[in-house]
């Protein structure tokens, strides 16, 4: 049995896949902003990551 099959119905699988994609994208931004060789791209990645973090905080009511 695959992991996503054990989650539940199709909506749960889609939600889990979306969450995994979002976590991967966030990790790429943080990696690029921390370890990137191009200062301009690293700065842009850091700004984007911070903007996404602010949006998440607002959605959670912590903003």
Percentage above 70 pLDDT, the chain: 81
Beta carbons of 46 and 26 less than 8 angstroms apart: no
The DSSP 8-state label assigned to residue 17 in this structure reads H
Domain hosting residue 22, numbered range: 9-60
- CA 36 – CA 46 distance, rounded (Å): 10
Please state the rounded mean pLDDT for residues 27-35: 89
The DSSP 8-state label assigned to residue 37 in this structure reads S
- 36 belongs to a structural domain: yes
- 17 belongs to a structural domain: yes
- 16 belongs to a structural domain: yes
9 vs 38, residue with greater confidence: 38
pTM, two decimal places: 0.61
Q: Tell me: the pLDDT tens digits for 41-61?
A: 999 989 988 898 888 888 888
The domain total for the chain is: 1
Residue among 3, 22, 23 at smallest CA distance from 13 = 3
Half-sphere exposure of 9 (CA within 13 A, CB side): 1
- 1 belongs to a structural domain: no
């Amino acid at each position: 049995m695959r992991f996503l099959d054990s989650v539940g119905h199709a909506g749960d699988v889609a939600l889990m896949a979306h969450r995994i994609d979002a976590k991967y994208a966030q990790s790429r931004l943080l990696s690029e902003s921390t370890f990137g060789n191009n200062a301009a791209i690293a700065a842009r990645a850091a700004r984007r990551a911070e903007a996404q973090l602010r949006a998440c905080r607002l959605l959670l009511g912590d903003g």
